[in-house]
């Protein structure tokens, strides 16, 4: 039973909405009570399935690989990874950009779709936001530990007053990164936490054991569900959405400037910011799909995460994927059109040089495969969507590999050309961050409501009726 | 101790006084007050806790706490501070100013011949070698070996103890053993005694040996130098005087004891300065790619055996005959002959060390015909090295026959270097008593009874001649680190006066021999100071009055002999060369040289079977550049019944159907650095064909091998990085270099301009003067404490050289034109690295230097990514050796030893700039032009690198930058490099069939 009455009014976004096509957003025959029960039971009452333990164990083991790689890195040196001269960055920055990109879907779903009043976001926004946070956690690992002296990098990159009057170089895109990513992480965390407060209160009220009551009670921050609370809550949530919205654009734009500001052929391109943002959303939605499909299956959440959700996400992927493909096209065109010998060589080397398989695979993933989503049958096939979401994730990783490695490995002076490949430590750290990500995600599934309870209830016909009454 | 007690209130004291009976003595108000706190204070006045001893329980607690504290205190002492004694100078050494280096003249002696050097000494520690400007074979420049001598001096793997059968013995025991051994030989007149040394030019040592041989007439002296020079026939050439040079496999800038002088002489005719000497022209016929071949205006790559035929054909063509004997090369030879005739008396023909006496005789004949003798060639009486192979063969035969009972080996390693057919090692074991003097416990030391650690040149008194006969008296820079002895002391040990030191022996020789002229003491001091003995007697007999005529040429007979039989040239030919980095193997344990990219292959830490790309393709050899190194096929080299396995490497410009191998690798006992690297080419080398021979079979083994190669791409990709023209083009259009590029206007930047009001340091590198010898690279490494990273790290592209010599080929892969371009940091005025460093660890100085602040660097490597010249180097690991004590002595105290995780790069030797600036300021003047020389510029034999203040229009560097040939590498990126290049100009003969492919760098727009 719900411990508090369904809120009599929705947020601002919902107020102005036409009656939702509820059936598509919410399957089955649900009532307010059943929605709460269904979602809260995952955390509170149901036995933790053995699959959870298995998944957690695997993820945690992978995560230990990260620990191994990092301990080695700290004691032996960054040389255990693959970078060299000329390829000064490798897996470190590839993975940084990959993870940051994945995080984007969460913010987009939470903030932009909220502002655009896309009600279908409701059932996926909670775990998409969680995913954002975890992805950012994985991402920030790289810029810190890829430096030669992480123990200094971890604070020297911040502008803090010191007796030597030393400041960071504000012209460096890496400093912009520091601000962009830290802001992003902070706002995302706030947004996620604020969204969780009413649900924490629900869990507090439904928890049966004292420790859980206390734990959820502290997290609920005294939420009682009064009208005043709801009023403040809606305002705060909307404001945070407003704050987060520019971040969707800015973070990956700034990350792309790490490359665009450099003079390396293959990096020095003005198209990078929009093309990176599109790529980020593309990758992010793929990751949401990767997570949502097993989640709804194993926890029986097909009623909440319906085919309409999946199809919408596929459409977003198709749209952003096409923007990314356009980016590749423009890069190639500009290399020819600029008549710059270094640019021309760079693109030719990408296509035919030693890393051509990477580029070919990239085109296959991000240009060829994504176009299959035009077909409705494929777009609405859950197994296919699961598959394509992996293809996109791989494709986006390859994209960063191609941009970073193939641009650096043959730049201006042929005498300095070289080759790059990741080492066992690189792979271990990469797989380890995936382990970290999944570990956090498993903990999240276990201890927090994976779907926003109160928001789900607001799209019930029941709530609609009361609201309209 | 307890806190001071506040006096109790006075009323209490008064009360107590009133209560007391009799006289009370009190010392303080506290005592008077008689408070409990005061009693406690009294009790605890002495060591804190002392009172606890009185209380059985308290004592237990106290001991417990103390015990724990002691145990914990031990934990903080993990790093034990070394016990050090400070001994101040009672009387300070003369001229010794802390922080101010001193320079002493001496010489490095690598193959018996001296090259004069000045050694920088910081507080008694030699740290850097510079050329001696007063020495005719150095002229202020050095080569890579001389630069690396410092590291060899401090090599921790050097032999450190005198041993007898592997056990440590004192010097006295050795003297006694030698005394009895020689005494035992005396009866037979010393017939069983053999001395084996390297080439000896030392007048003192020659005197000692002759003295020794006089007392033991039956004894023999053998000299063995595996890599020569073997054919010093007394010929002295003057390259600077020749307008036309023809090299018959003579690598005069890359090998030989006169290479530094010859490189200077050659480049002096390539400066293209107005009013300077006219440009010379160089023809090279060579059997393996060499530095000299890379400089050639016309180059003919032929198999080793063909050089003889080509030389004959040239002689024939001069006679007016047609070079019919040489199908395919007639036009080349005919045009050359015409050009030779045109330059009669102003030309010079040189035959290479690697060619048999017949070719030398042909060269001599050519010089004679062309009237060059007395003009560009003279003959002097430098003691010839003799027939090294014959001498060693004789020794081996004697040993085999049991005629040798005492063998003294000094400064050479025959067990490793002797031709394989002599079976030296096995035969040596038949000798009764074997004595070895050497820097290392090497292969020969292992098989000798006695091993005496040799003093390094910089630890020794001695003397040596240069290739032109100039004598240098060697003086030590430091007392022997490991109690090493010199060859002089070893020889003295064989005589009746064994206890003399090298100093006494050398001084005595010069004093009694009278080689220094009248006032001995004064002349001795002068000779030591100058590094050159100027007295005429020391120069040996002067130039021979009359050069031999063609008819008296000693090798007239081989000249007449029939050309090499065709049958012998079937199959592949094998050519041996000393390694450009480790020479004959003696530098195998010197990390700087192992990691030095060899010219033309850029190979480090290995040798390889070098062959032409066409031969490699025929043999099915594939080479692949990977992120872990260059992988290539291992091949089995089968030659005259012996075989070794070697990695194959294709080299553009290598003659077809020939394989070149470098000596000096495959060492078993070189030390921790050099043992087990590469393959041993000596295992194929026989005494009858020391430098080349036919009958090689090459077969792929199917295995792969990883090589560490620092440059894998040789093509310019049509880029204008290296700009070049022919002499005719240059004369027509002196501004050709500017036309080949695109220099953006100064307004094309968003960043504010830097202002350089004081000095503005800059560098100009003349591509026409760079001979690619690598001296600058090692000089930079020595000056700037650059670490050695090892083969694996080089293979991964992490070498640390601040200065590298890029090398590009243009034209056909069979016969390319080669260009060298030394690349230090460009010190861009608009540096791409500076804006991207997030912590501002690389910043611009007001004199235009691009400074690197190691302390501030966190190691994001963004600067390296954004550097278009890729001159930045990153410490991926702790590359610098922070542990080995002896290596610490050799470091430059003015340069930071970098730690892990920081970026580094060329600083324009900022420590030298600062030194000069301080000096100038103290003397209230500006820094003079030429006062600051970067380490690379100072070492350069070709004077290709010039450094100075570009704000001073009269400076040398400003003058060079005003030359129309001056251009900036990648200047279209608007980096405004401070290091600029002077385009190369080649001087081809328009009548020759092979014209340079030229114009590397086509016009382009950034």
**A342 to chain B: closest CA residue:** B1006
Say how far apart CA A316 and CA A321 lie, in whole Å.
Answer: 8
User: For residue B656, how far is the Cα from the chain centroid?
Assistant: 31
pLDDT, averaged per 10 consecutive residues of chain B (1006 residues), comes to 49 67 63 65 60 70 77 59 75 79 91 91 91 92 93 93 92 92 88 90 90 90 84 77 92 89 93 87 92 92 89 85 66 89 91 87 88 84 63 90 92 92 90 93 92 93 88 92 92 87 90 77 89 64 32 35 48 91 92 93 93 93 91 93 94 93 93 92 90 91 93 86 90 89 83 87 94 94 94 93 93 88 94 93 92 93 94 94 90 92 94 94 92 94 94 93 93 92 92 72 38
Is the pLDDT assigned to residue A3 strictly greater than 60?
no
When CB atoms are compared, the residue of B717, B823, B861 closest to A414 is B717
Q: Is the dihedral of CA B7, B10, B11, B16 positive or negative?
A: positive
- Do B470 and B137 touch, CB atoms closer than 8 A? yes
Structure-block tokens of residue B513 = 């021999």
Q: Which residues pair with B474 in a beta bridge?
A: B462
Banded model confidence at residue A303, pLDDT cuts 50, 70, 90 = confident
Nearest beta carbon to residue B868 from set A152, A174, A411? A411
pLDDT band at A463; cut points 50, 70, 90:
low
Indicate the burial class of B612 (C-beta count within 10 angstroms; 0-12, 13-18, 19 or more).
buried
**What 3-state DSSP class applies to A466?**
helix
Distance from the B549 Cα atom to the nearest Cα atom in chain A, whole angstroms: 49
pLDDT score of B540:
44
Q: Map B504-546 to HEC letters.
A: HHHHHHHHHHCCCCCCHHHHHHHHHHHCCCCCHHHHCCCCCCC
Q: Which two tokens stand for residue B49?
A: 């806790």
3-state secondary structure of A166: coil
pLDDT in tens, A17-46: 444 444 466 666 777 777 777 777 777 777
**What's phi and psi for B838, nearest 5 deg?**
-70, -25
Q: How many residues does chain A have?
A: 469
Torsion region of A225: left, alpha or beta (phi above 0 gives left; psi -120 to 50 gives alpha)? left
Cα gap A253→A270, rounded to integer Å: 11
CB atoms A419 and B627 under 8 Å: yes
At residue B75, φ and ψ (nearest 5 deg) are -60, -35
Q: Which residue from B692, B688, B683, B637 is spatially nearest to B664, judged by alpha carbons?
A: B683
Helices (H), B138-202: 144-153, 171-186
Minimal-distance CA residue of chain A relative to B1003: A341
C-beta atoms of A171 and B793 within 8 A: no
Considering only residues 963 to 992 of chain B, which have any Cβ-Cβ distance to chain A shorter than 8 Å? 969-970, 973
- Looking at this predicted complex, what is its ipTM? 0.90
- CB contact under 8 Å between B627 and A418, yes or no, is yes
Kindly state the DSSP code that residue B128 receives in the 8-state scheme: E
The dihedral over CA atoms of A218, A224, A228, A231, expressed in degrees to the nearest 10, equals: 70
Task: Identify the pLDDT of residue A15.
Answer: 43
What residue of A is the nearest CA neighbor of B843?
A169
Backbone angles phi, psi at A41, to 5 degrees: -65, -30
Given its phi and psi angles, is residue B716 left (phi above 0), alpha (psi -120 to 50 degrees) or beta? alpha
Number of neighbours of residue A37 by Cβ within 10 angstroms = 17
C-alpha distances (whole Å) from B215 to each of A229, B196, B496, B501 are 115, 17, 10, 21
Task: Determine the Cα–Cα distance for residues A97 and B178; give it in Å rounded to an integer.
Answer: 74
Q: Choose from B861, B906, B968, B1002 for mutation: most chain A CBs within 10 A.
A: B861
Q: Is A288 exposed, middle or buried (0-12, 13-18, 19+ CB in 10 A)?
A: buried
Nearest CA in chain A to B821: A415
CB A449 within 8 A of CB A434: no
Residue B516 has a pLDDT of 75
Rg (CA), chain A: 23
CA–CA separation, B892 vs B787, rounded Å? 12
Both tokens of residue B430?
A: 């038949």
- The alpha carbon of residue B807 is apart from the nearest alpha carbon of chain A, in Å, by 7
Tokens representing residue B401 in the block: 């026959």
Inter-residue contact B472 to B114 (CB < 8 Å): yes
Distance separating alpha carbons of residues B766 and A135, to the nearest angstrom? 53
pLDDT of residue B680: 93
**For residue range A398-430, what is the model confidence (pLDDT) as tens digits?**
999 999 999 999 999 999 999 999 999 999 999
Task: Give tens-digit pLDDT for A332-345.
Answer: 999 999 888 999 99
Cβ within 8 Å of residue A111, ≥6 positions away? A191, A240, A241, A242, A244, A245, A247, A248
Mutual angle of helices A341-352 and A356-363, in 10-degree steps: 80
What is the DSSP-derived secondary structure letter of residue B485? B
CB–CB of A421 and B628 under 8 A? yes
Q: Which bin fits A239, alpha (ψ -120 to 50), beta or left (φ > 0)?
A: alpha
Top residue of A347, A416, A420, A425 to mutate, by most chain B CBs within 10 Å, is A416
B714/A413 Cβ within 8 A: no
Q: Does B695 touch chain A (CB under 8 A)?
A: no
Give the residue from chain A lying closest to B833, CA to CA.
Answer: A262
Q: Do A413 and B869 touch (CB under 8 A)?
A: yes
B288, B297 contact by CB (below 8 A): no
DSSP labels for B564-615? PPGGGG-SEEEEEE-BTTTBTTTTTT-HHHHTSPPTTT-EES---EEE-HHH
Query: Residue with structure tokens 């792309």?
Result: A256
User: Per the CB < 8 Å rule, is A418 touching B628?
Assistant: no
B805, closest residue in chain A (CA to CA) = A415
Q: Out of A362-366, A431-435, B352-356, pick the least confident.
A: B352-356
CA A43 from centre of chain? 23
Neighbours of B272 (CB within 10 A): 22
Q: CB count, 10 Å around CB of B2?
A: 13
pTM summary value = 0.86
Task: Name the residue facing B861 among A83, A166, A339 (closest C-beta).
Answer: A83
Strand partners, B904: B873
Gap between the Cα atoms of A269 and A350, Å rounded: 16
The stretches of B167-258 forming alpha helices (DSSP H) are: 171-186, 203-215
Nearest CA to A461 among A34, A1, A124? A34
pLDDT band at A321 (very low <50, low <70, confident <90, very high): very high
How many A-B residue pairs are in contact by the CB < 8 A criterion?
A: 181
Q: What is the pLDDT of residue B514?
A: 67
Strands B235-237 and B244-248: unpaired
Report how far residue B298's alpha carbon sits from residue B987's, in angstroms, rounded to the nearest whole number.
9
Cβ proximity of A187 and A195 under 8 Å = no
Residue whose token pair is 């009055």: B545
CB within 8 Å: B808 and A415: yes
Residue numbers in A near B793 (CB within 8 A): 79
pLDDT of residue B556: 34
CA distance B514 to B930: 39
Distance, in Å, from the CA atom of B222 to the CA atom of B394, rounded to the nearest integer, reads 9
């Amino acid at each position: 039973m719900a411990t508090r009455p369904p809120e009599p009014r929705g947020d601002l976004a919902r107020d102005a909405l036409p009656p939702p096509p509820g059936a598509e957003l919410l399957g089955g025959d649900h009532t307010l009570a059943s929605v709460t029960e269904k979602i809260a039971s995952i955390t509170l009452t149901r036995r933790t399935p053995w699959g959870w333990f298995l998944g957690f164990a695997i993820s945690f083991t992978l995560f230990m690989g990260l620990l191994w790689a990092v301990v080695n890195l700290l004691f032996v040196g960054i040389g255990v990874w693959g970078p060299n001269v000329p390829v000064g960055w490798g897996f470190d920055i590839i993975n940084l950009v990959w993870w940051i990109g994945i995080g984007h879907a969460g913010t987009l779903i939470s903030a932009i779709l909220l502002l655009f009043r896309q009600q279908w976001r409701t059932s996926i926004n909670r775990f998409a936001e969680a995913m954002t946070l975890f992805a950012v956690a994985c991402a920030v690992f790289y810029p810190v530990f890829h430096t030669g002296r992480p123990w200094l990098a971890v604070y020297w990159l911040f502008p803090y007053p010191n007796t030597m009057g030393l400041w960071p170089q504000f012209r460096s895109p890496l400093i912009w990164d520091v601000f962009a990513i830290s802001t992003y992480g902070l706002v995302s965390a706030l947004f996620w936490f604020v969204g969780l407060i009413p649900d924490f209160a629900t869990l507090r009220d439904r928890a049966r054991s004292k420790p859980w009551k206390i734990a959820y009670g502290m997290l609920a921050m005294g939420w009682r569900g009064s009208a005043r609370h709801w009023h403040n809550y809606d305002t705060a949530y909307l404001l945070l959405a407003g704050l987060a919205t520019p971040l969707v654009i800015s973070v990956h734009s700034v990350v792309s400037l790490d490359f665009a500001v450099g003079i390396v052929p293959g990096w020095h391109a003005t198209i990078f910011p929009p093309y990176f943002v599109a790529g980020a959303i593309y990758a992010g939605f793929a990751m949401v799909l990767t997570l949502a499909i097993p989640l709804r299956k194993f926890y029986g959440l097909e009623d909440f995460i319906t085919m309409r959700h999946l199809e919408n996400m596929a459409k977003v992927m198709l749209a952003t994927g096409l923007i990314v493909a356009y980016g590749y096209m423009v890069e190639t065109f500009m290399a020819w059109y600029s008549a710059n010998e270094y640019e021309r060589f760079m693109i030719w080397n990408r296509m035919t040089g030693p890393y051509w398989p990477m580029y070919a695979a990239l085109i296959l993933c991000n240009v060829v495969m994504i176009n299959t989503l035009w077909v409705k049958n494929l777009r609405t096939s859950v197994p296919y969507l699961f598959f394509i979401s992996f293809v996109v994730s791989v494709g986006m990783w390859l994209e960063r590999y191609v941009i970073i490695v193939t641009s650096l490995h043959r730049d201006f002076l042929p005498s300095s050309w070289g080759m790059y490949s990741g080492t066992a430590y690189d792979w271990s750290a990469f797989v380890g961050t995936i382990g970290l990500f999944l570990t956090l995600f498993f903990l999240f599934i276990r201890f927090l409501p994976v779907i926003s309870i109160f928001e789900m209830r607001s799209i019930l016909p029941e709530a609609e009726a009361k609201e309209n009454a | 101790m307890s806190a001071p007690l506040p006096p109790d209130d006075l009323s209490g004291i008064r009360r107590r006084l009133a209560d007391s009976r009799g006289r009370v003595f009190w010392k303080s108000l506290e005592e008077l007050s008689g408070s409990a706190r005061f009693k406690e204070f009294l009790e605890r006045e002495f060591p804190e806790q002392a009172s606890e001893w009185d209380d059985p329980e308290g004592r237990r607690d106290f001991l417990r706490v103390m015990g724990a504290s002691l145990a914990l205190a031990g934990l903080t002492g993990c790093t034990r501070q070394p016990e050090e004694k400070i001994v101040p100078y009672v009387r300070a050494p003369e001229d010794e100013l802390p922080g101010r280096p001193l320079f002493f003249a001496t010489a490095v002696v690598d193959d018996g011949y001296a090259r004069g050097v000045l050694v920088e000494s910081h507080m008694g520690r030699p740290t850097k070698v510079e050329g001696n400007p007063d020495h005719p074979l150095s002229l202020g420049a050095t080569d890579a070996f001389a630069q690396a001598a410092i590291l060899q001096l401090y090599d921790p793997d050097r032999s450190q103890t005198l041993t007898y059968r592997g056990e440590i013995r004192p010097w006295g025991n050795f003297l006694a053993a030698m005394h009895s051994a020689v005494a035992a030989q005396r009866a037979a007149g010393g017939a069983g005694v053999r001395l084996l040394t390297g080439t000896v030019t030392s007048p003192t040592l020659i005197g000692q040996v002759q003295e020794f041989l006089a007392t033991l007439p039956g004894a023999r002296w053998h000299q063995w130098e595996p890599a020569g020079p073997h054919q010093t026939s007394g010929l002295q050439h003057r390259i600077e005087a020749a307008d036309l040079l023809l090299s018959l496999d003579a690598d005069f800038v890359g090998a030989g004891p006169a290479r530094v002088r010859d490189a200077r002489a050659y480049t002096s005719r390539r400066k293209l300065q107005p009013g300077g000497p006219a440009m010379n022209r160089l023809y090279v016929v060579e059997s393996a790619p060499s530095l000299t071949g890379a400089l050639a205006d016309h180059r003919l790559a032929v198999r080793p055996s063909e050089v003889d035929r080509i030389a004959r054909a040239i002689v024939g063509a001069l006679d007016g005959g047609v070079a019919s004997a040489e199908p395919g090369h007639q036009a080349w030879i005919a045009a050359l002959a015409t050009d030779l005739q045109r330059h009669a008396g102003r030309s010079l023909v040189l035959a290479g060390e690697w060619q048999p006496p017949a070719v030398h005789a042909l060269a001599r004949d050519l010089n004679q015909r062309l009237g060059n003798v007395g003009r560009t060639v003279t003959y002097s009486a430098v003691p010839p090295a003799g027939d090294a192979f014959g001498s060693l063969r004789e020794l081996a035969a004697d040993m085999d026959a049991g005629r040798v009972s005492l063998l003294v080996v000094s400064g050479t390693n025959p067990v490793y270097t002797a031709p394989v057919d002599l079976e030296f090692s096995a035969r040596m074991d038949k000798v009764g008593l074997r004595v070895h003097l050497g820097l290392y416990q090497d292969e020969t030391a292992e098989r000798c009874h006695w091993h005496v650690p040799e003093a390094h040149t910089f630890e020794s008194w001695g003397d040596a001649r240069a290739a032109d006969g100039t004598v240098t008296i060697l003086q030590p820079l430091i007392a022997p680190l490991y109690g090493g002895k010199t060859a002089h002391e070893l020889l003295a040990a064989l005589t009746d006066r064994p206890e003399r030191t090298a100093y006494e022996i050398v001084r005595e020789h010069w004093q009694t021999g009278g080689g220094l002229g009248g006032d001995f003491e004064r002349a001795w001091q002068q000779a030591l100071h100058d590094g050159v003995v100027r007295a005429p007697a020391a120069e040996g007999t002067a130039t021979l009055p009359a050069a031999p005529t063609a008819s008296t040429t000693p090798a007239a007979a081989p000249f007449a002999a029939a050309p090499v039989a065709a049958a012998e040239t079937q199959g592949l030919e094998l050519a041996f060369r000393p390694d450009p980095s480790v020479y004959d193997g003696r530098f195998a344990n010197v990390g700087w040289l192992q990691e030095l990219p060899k010219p033309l292959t850029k190979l480090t830490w290995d040798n390889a079977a070098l062959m032409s790309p066409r031969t490699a393709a025929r043999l099915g050899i594939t080479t692949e550049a990977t992120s872990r190194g260059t992988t290539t096929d291992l091949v089995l080299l089968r030659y005259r019944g012996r075989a070794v396995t070697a990695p194959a490497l294709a080299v553009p410009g290598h003659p077809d159907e020939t394989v070149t191998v470098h000596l000096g690798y495959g060492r078993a006992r070189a030390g921790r650095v050099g043992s087990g690297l590469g393959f041993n080419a000596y295992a194929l080398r026989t005494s009858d064909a020391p430098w080349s021979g036919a009958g090689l079979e090459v077969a792929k083994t199917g295995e792969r091998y990883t090589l560490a190669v620092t440059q894998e791409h040789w093509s310019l990709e049509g880029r204008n990085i290296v700009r070049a023209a022919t002499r005719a083009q240059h004369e027509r259009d002196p501004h050709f270099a500017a036309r080949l590029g695109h220099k953006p206007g100064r307004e094309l930047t968003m960043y504010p301009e830097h202002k350089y009001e004081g000095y503005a340091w800059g560098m100009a590198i003349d591509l026409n003067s760079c001979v690619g010898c690598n001296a600058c690279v090692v000089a930079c490494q020595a000056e700037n404490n650059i670490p050695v990273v090892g083969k694996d790290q080089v293979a991964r592209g992490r070498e640390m050289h601040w200065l590298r010599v890029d090398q590009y080929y243009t034209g056909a892969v069979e016969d390319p034109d080669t260009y060298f371009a030394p690349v230090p940091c460009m010190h861009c005025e608009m540096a791409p690295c500076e804006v991207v460093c997030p912590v501002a660890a690389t910043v611009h100085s007001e004199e235009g230097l691009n400074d690197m602040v190691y302390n501030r660097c966190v190691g994001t490597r963004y600067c390296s990514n954004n550097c278009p010249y890729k001159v930045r180097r990153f410490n991926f690991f702790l590359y610098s050796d922070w542990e080995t004590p002896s290596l610490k002595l050799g470091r430059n105290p003015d340069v930071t030893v970098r730690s892990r995780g920081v970026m580094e790069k060329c600083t324009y030797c900022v420590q030298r700039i600062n030194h000069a600036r301080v000096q100038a300021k103290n003397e209230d003047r500006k820094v003079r032009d030429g006062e600051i020389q970067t380490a690379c510029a100072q070492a350069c034999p070709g004077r290709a690198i010039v450094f100075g203040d570009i704000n001073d229009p009269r400076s040398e560097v400003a003058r060079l930058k005003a030359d129309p040939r001056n251009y900036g590498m990648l200047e279209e990126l608007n980096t405004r490099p401070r290091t600029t290049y002077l385009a190369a100009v080649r001087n081809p003969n328009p009548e020759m069939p092979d014209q340079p492919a030229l114009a590397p760098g086509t016009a382009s727009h950034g």
